[in-house]
Amino acid sequence: MAERIICQGDIVDTVADAIVFSTNEHLFLSGGAGASLLGKHGKPLQDAMTRALAASGSKIAHRGSVFEIEPAETWGRMFAVVAANGFYETTREDTVEAIRLVLQRCSEIDGLKTVAITALGTGYGNMEIEDFVALFCGIDIPQPLESIELVIPSELFFREACLTNDRLGNPAKIAG
C-alpha cells in the first residue's frame, strides 16, 4: 500500500520522481510553488510551460486541466495543474479529477515511484487547506506508486494540515 506523507518545506527542495504543482490559466509561473520553481529553473521552465499550453491549442487553460511539462536537464517530471479559474474559484471535483489523472499518468511511467504535490488551489484558489488535506488523505493511489508527499511551505498551513490529519484518524505520516 502506498504511503501518504505530509511535510513542511519548499517543493523545489523535495526529492521525488515527479512534482505536481498549481498554476494559473495562462501557465505563468507567477506565484506560490510556480514562483519557487521559476526561481530555481528560470526562463527555460517558463518556456516549457508556454509550449505545453500552445500544444493544447488553447490560449487559456480551464480549471482542472493537467499539463505534463517536458523534462529538462535541470528538472525531472513535472505536472502543472490549473487549480483555479480566473476568478480564483476552485472546486473539489476538479481538483480530485486532476489529481487522479496525474497519479494515473505517474503510475504508467516506468520507474516512477514517488510523487510530491503542493496543496492545489489553496494559495490563489478558494480551497481551504483542511479540504485539500481531506482530499489528499482520501484519494486512491494507483500501483506501483509507493508514496505521495504533500509539501506545504507555510508553517500555519502545515499545522492546520496536521490537525486535519489527526481528525481523519492519521491516514498520512507527518514528516519534518
Sequence spans of domains, the chain: 3-175
Paired sense of beta strands 173-175 and 77-82, if any: unpaired
pLDDT at 125: 86
Residue 82: pLDDT band by 50, 70, 90 thresholds? very high
Cell of 81: 495543474
> What pLDDT score does 98 carry?
97
Residue 176 pLDDT exceeds 90: no
- Indicate whether this model's pTM tops 0.75: yes
33: closest CA among 19, 43, 54?
A: 19
Rounded Cα distance, 40 and 45, in Å: 9
pLDDT band, very low/low/confident/very high, at 124 (cuts 50, 70, 90): confident
Q: Under CATH, what is the fold of the domain 3-175? A: Leucine Aminopeptidase, subunit E; domain 1 (3.40.220)
CA–centroid distance for 49 within its chain: 15
- β-strand pairing of 77-82 with 147-152: unpaired
Per-residue pLDDT band for 115 (boundaries 50, 70, 90) equals very high
